DNA sequence: ATGGCTTACAAAGTAAGA
């Protein structure tokens, strides 16, 4: 089985239907994970997105905020919409692909809470939620750890830039939510909980800067390049070696009225 | 220097993103 997977925090799917269309026509992903769709399921533009070549669509929506959707050319069955941390947010959705005799493949689409401004769980409930969310992910995947043959991919906006080269200035961002030691440590625990492999860093060495998000407030995002790598694609060890290529589509940051995140694309060949 | 921007919404100013 070979397929192209993409993940994109779209920051309102209804406002950017034309950009999703542009992306899909140019890059032809077989599966597309969207985050921050910012609408309830009933307002999700399933007909328009289906017409782009995605007969299989799963949506976990919420009014005004958050929300994730997985679109696919390949058939899948919805596995779970998990309310991680029990706050009623739409931040996770998983599907199972049963492609052509191959062993099942689980695809998780995740949107980790941003965490607010103040990086102190005692003063900031949103930061507390973010840390709890990451801890809950680690416990959940840790509980599946014995199932070493399970084939899973996780894609989404994890809202943490773990490596020093995942931010424009490691020193200046140590106290900025997304790159604080508390978050990085929690994210590392999620990764270790199931031996998750960082697909993007399999293709770009850790010494090299790699970003997927640039603030709307930078007048010239490319010139200042104050980016962060907040979006990720991970795979379980059973899939290591299956990701043959990876692209961060930074040119999408220049598209008209685009998201502040850009798509991340990975090509898989699974025996 | 985090905020100069951008989004949704019981539509003018809030809350949220990160």
Give residue-wise pLDDT tens across range A171-229: 999 999 999 999 999 999 999 999 999 999 999 999 999 999 999 999 899 999 999 99
Interatomic distance A185 CA / B8 C1' (Å): 33
pTM of this prediction exceeds 0.85: yes
- Residue A257: which nucleotide is closest by CA–C1'? B6
Q: Average pLDDT, stretch A134-150?
A: 93
Interatomic distance A164 CA / B13 C1' (Å): 38
Q: What is the CATH number of the domain that holds A162?
A: 3.60.10.10
Q: Are the CB atoms for A56 and A74 separated by under 8 Å?
A: yes
Residue range A2-32, pLDDT digits in tens: 999 999 999 999 999 999 999 999 999 999 9
pLDDT of residue A190: 98
Interatomic distance A225 CA / B5 C1' (Å): 16
pLDDT band at A103 (very low <50, low <70, confident <90, very high): confident
Could you list the residue range(s) of the whole structural domain that residue A200 is in?
2-269
**Does any strand B atom come closer than 7 Å to the Cβ of A114?**
yes
Q: How confident is the prediction for chain A on average, in pLDDT?
A: 96
pLDDT above 90 covers what percent of chain A?
94
Strand pairing class (A197-198; A152-157) = unpaired
- Number of domains within chain A: 1
Q: What is the DSSP letter of A255?
A: S
Q: Report how far apart, in Å, the C-alpha atoms of A249 and of each of A23, A100, A163, A174, A192 are.
A: 9, 30, 20, 26, 28
Tokens 């994210």 appear where? A187
The residue length of chain A stands at 271
Please check the confidence at residue A159 and state whether its pLDDT lies above 90: yes
Q: Are the CB atoms for A85 and A135 separated by under 8 Å?
A: no
Which has the closest alpha carbon to A71: A90, A89, A87, A48? A48
Which has the closest alpha carbon to A179: A193, A157, A199, A164? A164
Q: Average pLDDT, stretch A237-250?
A: 96
- Residue A62: which nucleotide is closest by CA–C1'? B8
Q: Are the CB atoms for A271 and A244 separated by under 8 Å?
A: no
Q: Are the CB atoms for A37 and A62 separated by under 8 Å?
A: no
Which has the closest alpha carbon to A55: A33, A76, A78? A76
> From the C1' of B9, which residue's alpha carbon is nearest?
A64
pLDDT of residue A158: 98
> From the C1' of B4, which residue's alpha carbon is nearest?
A217
pLDDT of residue A101: 67
Please check the confidence at residue A120 and state whether its pLDDT lies above 90: yes
Q: Report how far apart, in Å, the C-alpha atoms of A34 and of each of A13, A43, A183, A238 are.
A: 8, 15, 23, 25
pLDDT of residue A100: 61
Q: Please indicate whether residue A79 or residue A102 has the higher confidence score (pLDDT).
A: A79
**Does any strand B atom come closer than 7 Å to the Cβ of A87?**
no
- Residue A219: which nucleotide is closest by CA–C1'? B4
Residue range A43-72, pLDDT digits in tens: 999 999 999 999 999 999 999 999 999 999
Q: Are the CB atoms for A57 and A33 separated by under 8 Å?
A: no
Interatomic distance A268 CA / B2 C1' (Å): 38
**Does any strand B atom come closer than 7 Å to the Cβ of A127?**
no
Q: Are the CB atoms for A30 and A72 separated by under 8 Å?
A: yes
**Does any strand B atom come closer than 7 Å to the Cβ of A126?**
yes
pLDDT of residue A271: 83
Interatomic distance A196 CA / B5 C1' (Å): 35
pLDDT of residue A245: 98
pLDDT band at A114 (very low <50, low <70, confident <90, very high): very high
pLDDT of residue A98: 82
pLDDT of residue A147: 85
Q: Are the CB atoms for A76 and A95 separated by under 8 Å?
A: yes
Strands (E) in A30-98, as ranges, are 31-35, 56-60, 68-72, 76-80, 92-97
**Does any strand B atom come closer than 7 Å to the Cβ of A12?**
yes
Please check the confidence at residue A99 and state whether its pLDDT lies above 80: no
Specify the long-range contacts of residues A76-82, CB closer than 8 Å, at least 24 apart: A76/A107, A79/A106, A82/A140
Three-state DSSP at A210 gives coil
Q: Which nucleotides of B are covered by protein (CB under 7 A)?
A: 2-10, 16-18
């Amino acid at each position: 089985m070979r397929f192209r997977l993409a993940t994109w925090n779209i920051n309102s799917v209804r406002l950017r239907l034309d950009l999703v269309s542009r992306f899909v026509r140019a890059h032809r992903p077989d599966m597309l994970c969207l985050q921050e769709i910012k609408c309830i399921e009933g307002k999700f533009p399933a007909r328009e997105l289906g017409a782009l070549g995605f007969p299989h669509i799963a949506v976990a929506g919420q009014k005004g905020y958050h929300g994730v959707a997985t679109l696919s050319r390949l058939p899948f069955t919805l596995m779970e919409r998990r309310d991680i941390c029990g706050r009623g947010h739409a931040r996770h959705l998983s599907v199972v692909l049963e492609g052509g005799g191959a062993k099942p493949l689980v695809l998780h689409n995740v949107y980790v809470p941003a965490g607010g401004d103040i990086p102190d769980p005692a003063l900031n409930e949103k930061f507390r939620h973010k840390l709890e969310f990451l801890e809950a992910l680690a416990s959940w995947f840790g509980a599946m750890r014995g199932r070493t043959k399970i084939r899973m991919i996780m894609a989404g906006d994890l809202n943490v830039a773990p490596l020093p080269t995942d931010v424009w200035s490691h020193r200046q961002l140590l106290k900025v939510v997304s790159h604080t030691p508390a978050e990085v440590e929690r994210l590392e625990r999620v990764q270790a909980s199931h031996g998750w492999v960082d697909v993007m860093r399999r293709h770009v060495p850790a010494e090299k800067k790699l970003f997927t998000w640039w603030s709307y407030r930078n007048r010239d995002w490319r010139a200042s390049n104050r980016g962060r790598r907040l979006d990720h694609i991970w795979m379980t060890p059973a899939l290591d070696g299956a990701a043959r290529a990876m692209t961060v589509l930074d040119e999408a940051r220049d598209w008209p009225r685009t998201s502040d995140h850009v798509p991340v694309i990975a090509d898989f060949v699974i025996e």
